[in-house]
């Protein structure tokens, strides 16, 4: 049997698929750095995820430019995004905000004298946020894959990559990476993850929004790189990145709702 026929699924891969698989590879690579558990590894993982988002955004353009030999590209993209923008951010939040030294998030006491349960609020919030990120991102991606959002002007609900970028931008400053430890941050992250299953309109990285979104991601990458090298400019740049993401999360949806971008 000719090798080409034996490995036929590989011969169907297009340039768009290669971009998708590269993004998936980077998502898995980020997970390995997160599992490593050191502060430096966390920062490297936070650099990898925005790069993955940029490459993930290229697959649609590559598919339109060079075409494809199959019709499973959107499913491949959804699975890749589940790794990069669902599981990786979920594991990142768990690793950054769940502290085993505090004890289990929820524990049952069962002895001759009593049967009850006890909990640690900080760890309970951290693990709840991590679970919400994973499950809601998968649900969001499934809804996108099944629906017709690819043909519409805007996303319905916060895109999973945007949620992942929010997690990165908030965690690079407010986490154990910078000696910050508070139940408030995973609580906020959990609340923001709920936006993925709403019908709020969010901008796609196309037309007028492509360059601003790409610029925001590049600013985020530069911020994290400066943090990695402990350059004092990183914190100043962080405020710029945070402001850009707040505009995406809050300002642009309001402007879309008000019809500001209608021709």
Q: Is residue 1 part of a domain?
A: no
Q: Is residue 2 part of a domain?
A: no
C-alpha–C-alpha distance, residues 157 and 216, integer Å: 19
Report pLDDT for 36: 96
200 three-class SS: coil
C-alpha–C-alpha distance, residues 231 and 153, integer Å: 39
**Residue owning tokens 């290669």:** 18
**Residue owning tokens 């990069």:** 84
Q: Is residue 247 part of a domain?
A: yes
- DSSP at 187: H
C-alpha–C-alpha distance, residues 8 and 215, integer Å: 39
**Residue owning tokens 């099944």:** 146
Structural domain count of the chain: 1
Number of residues that make up the chain: 263
120 three-class SS: coil
C-alpha–C-alpha distance, residues 197 and 187, integer Å: 17
C-alpha–C-alpha distance, residues 218 and 30, integer Å: 18
C-alpha to C-alpha distances, 242 to 37, 90, 129, 171, 217, nearest whole angstrom: 25, 20, 20, 11, 11
C-alpha–C-alpha distance, residues 49 and 14, integer Å: 23
CATH of residue 66:
1.20.120
* DSSP for 46-75, written as a single string: HHHHHHHHHHHTTHHHHHHHH--SSS-HHH
Please enumerate in sequence order all residues whose Cβ is within 8 A of that of 205, keeping only pairs 6 or more positions apart, or say none.
57, 213, 214
Q: Is residue 20 part of a domain?
A: yes
Q: Is residue 263 part of a domain?
A: no
Q: Is residue 185 part of a domain?
A: yes
pLDDT profile of the chain (263 residues), mean per 10: 67 84 96 96 98 91 76 84 96 95 81 71 95 96 72 83 96 90 94 94 81 93 96 94 90 80 62
C-alpha–C-alpha distance, residues 145 and 189, integer Å: 24
Q: Given phi > 0 = left and psi -120 to 50 = alpha, else beta, which region is 37?
A: left
Pairing mode, strands 154-156 and 106-110: unpaired
Q: Given CA atoms 50, 135, 38, 122 in this order, what sign does their dihedral have?
A: positive
Question: Using CB atoms within 10 A of its CB, is residue 157 exposed (0-12), middle (13-18) or buried (19+)?
Answer: buried
Range of the domain at 22: 7-257
Report pLDDT for 22: 95
């Amino acid at each position: 049997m000719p090798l080409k026929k034996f490995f036929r699924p590989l011969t169907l891969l297009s340039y768009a698929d290669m971009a998708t698989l590269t993004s998936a590879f980077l998502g898995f690579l980020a997970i390995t750095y997160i599992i490593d558990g050191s502060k430096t590894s966390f920062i490297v993982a936070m650099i990898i995820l925005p790069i993955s988002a940029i490459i993930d955004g290229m697959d649609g353009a590559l598919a339109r430019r060079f075409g494809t030999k199959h019709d499973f590209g959107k499913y491949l993209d959804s699975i890749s995004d589940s790794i990069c923008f669902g599981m990786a951010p979920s594991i990142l939040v768990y690793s950054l905000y769940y502290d085993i030294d505090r004890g289990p998030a929820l524990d049952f006491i069962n002895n001759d004298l009593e049967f009850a349960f006890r909990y640690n609020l900080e760890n309970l919030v951290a693990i709840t946020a991590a679970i919400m990120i994973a499950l809601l991102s998968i649900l969001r991606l499934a809804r996108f894959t099944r629906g017709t959002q690819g043909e519409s002007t805007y996303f319905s609900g916060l895109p999973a990559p945007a949620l992942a970028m929010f997690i990165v931008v908030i965690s690079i400053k407010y986490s154990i990476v910078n000696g910050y430890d508070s139940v408030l941050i995973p609580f906020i992250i959990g609340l923001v993850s709920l936006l993925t299953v709403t019908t709020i309109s969010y901008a796609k990285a196309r037309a007028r929004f492509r360059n601003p979104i790409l610029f925001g991601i590049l600013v985020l990458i530069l911020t994290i790189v400066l943090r990695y090298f402990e350059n004092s400019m990183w914190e100043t740049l962080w405020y710029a990145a945070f402001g850009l993401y707040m505009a995406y999360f809050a300002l642009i949806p309001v402007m879309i709702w008000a019809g500001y971008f209608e021709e």
